[in-house]
Amino acid sequence: MQRISSTLLTKSESVHSVDEILHFTLSWSYYLILMRIENPDARSFYEIECTEQQWSVRQLSRQVGSSLYERLAREVQTQLLRPLCEAGFREAHYWYIAM
């Protein structure tokens, strides 16, 4: 198994250290929680939110535990589907009256 740092250094000869390649915006404690999230979209969401909202490690843990990503995704999906459902209902209603 090849280490990430050695792979990155061989690909870029002009770089002198791993720190110049990898820019971690969060501390290791955050990544310990993020690594446990299987869904890559959810993991990215939580990483971005941690940075932008300046969540503590405890806040991140609480948000992951409460399934914030899944709840927001469901809410957005419902909001996007609601107009389609209403339009479909109206079309079905007019079709029924026309018959």
Residue-wise pLDDT tens digits, 68-95? 999 999 888 888 777 766 766 555 445 4
Please give the residue that has the higher pLDDT: either 51 or 62: 62
What is the spatial distance between Cα 82 and Cα 57, in angstroms, rounded to a whole number? 35
Which residue in the block uniquely carries the two structure tokens 């690594």?
Answer: 35
**59, 34 contact by CB (below 8 A):** no
pLDDT confidence bin for 65, thresholds 50/70/90 = very high
**What pLDDT is recorded for position 6?**
42
Instruction: Outline where DSSP puts E strands in the chain.
Output: none
Predicted confidence (pLDDT) at residue 3 exceeds the cutoff of 60: no
Residue 84 structure tokens: 């389609």
pLDDT at site 2: 41
Summarize the confidence of residues 47-60 as an average pLDDT: 93
Domain boundaries, the chain: 1-66, 67-99
